[in-house]
Amino acid sequence: MTRREALAQLAALIAVPLPTAALIGGDPLDGTVAAYQAGRRRGLWTASEVTARALDRCRVQGHRWRAIDALAAMALSDARAADVRRRAGRSRGPLDGVPVFAKAIYDMAGLPTTGSNAEWARLFPDPVRRDAVEVRRLRAAGAIVLGKTAADDFAYRGNGTSSHTGQVLNPHDPTGTRTPGGSSAGSAVAVATGMAFAALGTDDGGSNRIPAQFTGVVGMKPTFGLVPRTGVIPTWPYLDTHGPLARSVADTAILLAAVAGADPSDPLTRAGPWNTAPAALSDEALVGVRLGVVEAHVPRERMAAEAVAAWDRAVGDLRAAGAVVEPFAPAVDRATVEDAFAAAARARGDVPVDPRSPPPTANALLRYFAGRTDDARAAVRRGYPAYRAFYDVLPKTFEACEPLLDRPMAEDPAGRSFARSRATVLAALAASMRAARVSAMVYPTMPFNAPRAVDPWPEIPTALDYANWLGLPEVSVPAGLGADGMPALNLSIVGLPGEDARVLALAHAYERRSRRFVPPPRGLSWAPSPCRGRVELPECRAGGGTMPGVDLDDGAALLDRMEYRA
């Protein structure tokens, strides 16, 4: 599948006019991309003004929540260029002039790549001269890349704990003790608190979906291979999937459309046919659709009563949106998926599967540095102890690892066996879905809400690895707050590989029916900066304070209430 074809399929999601969500508090940064662009067209604000306001938020609340790794010096000049394009009628599309972020492990021209690791930041302090492929595609779409968000060291864990910038805090938590999840912690916090409209993260075993649930935003793990990973510090090449976080499914789709599509620089991006269904973001997308509740992924007997209630409410919202929701036992579930892979390998007489086989990660690390330095092997040697402290399946020393560096990741026997088993198990899963006439699976993203950052997670099984092993597209959508004011649960809608457009359409319809996104309390998240330039916001005209949240079907109605003063 070509990049053009992938973009065409995803573009169908965002090509139709959509009702725009409310601007919470009257600030364009708290609304949707569609409402923001509508305001730009009407002259209510410019990309330059809103980018300056976004940077103000980053410098105040971003650092307060320890969500920011670094800010880009060129953001304001990029925003001014977007304003010039708009005035000239040369907009590059729905992302043109939109402030976004990328995770700390992404290369970004003009900034060092810290990997959110203190030692790596010390070893590689110089700004890099290239953009990761995804960042380059965002810029080509006109997006204003504000900089990088903090993460777990090398995206290795799910707690938002960085040795470089500290523990990322959860903006919903007044005690400052509960985790925002990770590893894409800063990206989730940045969009939850309106520092940006969307952000890029990565997901090997839940790194987008965990912080999406714990901070109450939308997180997506696209189909494995849909998004190339070149220019990003590598993790596990046979599991790693990059995707967006945003406050709405529509904004998630817009960001994904900008970065999706194979690139020859990543040998594991998929170029074959995709099993896609034409889809658009419609409030009616769930009507008559059969969804399968994977009961093995809903451990009700171990979930807190509040989590069970949130889950039951989410299922009720799906039914209210017109879906037929029934129990479904797929051919493979979270408890059987690894055994199914192993059995498929044995049946082929193949080597054992290993998605975390050392050679692909070693080769990916060499390939990463080959794109940013003249002596990639020396750079790997310099950074190896810091990196290997986390990716400890690698040999203990660089000398022991060096023979692995040149083994192409796509030719690793254990990785190839894993990929073959994935195809076999996916075929069985697809057959079971067809037999049950199930269009997509649903289950809780995680069956518990955010614990304290210093505590171990509850011993409740999750289905996070399930989608990574199978390469499935999964969209995690907020299902509301609990009595403690924290995000209680997210609903995951999961399809077969290549069905990203369909899954996004179903997730959008659920979101529009349920309306469960709630931003962090304004008093906790930031102190509004004074009104700037020509942006005249309702709270400023009222003499300070915060405008109550508004829930409107059409953001244009709120725009009509906002004056523009030169």
Active site residues: 103, 183, 207
Give ∠ CA 159-131-45 in degrees, rounded to 5: 85
Q: What whole-number distance in Å separates Cα of residue 553 and Cα of residue 229?
A: 37
Give the Å distances, CA to CA, from 420 to 18, 104, 171, 252, 343: 40, 32, 42, 30, 12
- Residues in the chain, overall count: 566
- Amino acid code (one letter) for 266: D
- Amino acid code (one letter) for 269: T
Spell out the residues 6+ positions from residue 88 whose beta carbon is closer than 8 angstroms to its own.
none
> Secondary structure of 87-113 in the HEC alphabet?
HCCCCCCCCCCCEEEEECCECCCCCCC
Give the Å distances, CA to CA, from 511 to 271, 276, 287, 410, 516: 31, 21, 14, 38, 7
Taking alpha carbons only, the member of 135, 18, 21 closest to residue 29 is 21
Q: What whole-number distance in Å separates Cα of residue 179 and Cα of residue 159?
A: 6
- Amino acid code (one letter) for 258: A
Q: What whole-number distance in Å separates Cα of residue 540 and Cα of residue 555?
A: 19
Q: What whole-number distance in Å separates Cα of residue 390 and Cα of residue 392?
A: 5
Spell out the residues 6+ positions from residue 244 whose beta carbon is closer than 8 angstroms to its own.
198, 199, 200, 201, 208, 219, 220, 251, 252, 255, 256, 259
Concatenating the DSSP letter of every residue in 442-489 gives EEES-SS---BTTSPPPS----HHHHHHHT--EEEEE--B-TTSSB--
Which two three-digit tokens encode residue 463? Answer: 């289905």
Spell out the residues 6+ positions from residue 361 whose beta carbon is closer than 8 angstroms to its own.
234, 235, 236, 237, 391, 393, 394
- The DSSP letter of residue 227 is S
Which two three-digit tokens encode residue 552? Answer: 């409107």
Which two three-digit tokens encode residue 219? Answer: 């997180």
**Phi, psi dihedrals of residue 123, rounded to the nearest 5°:** -75, -30
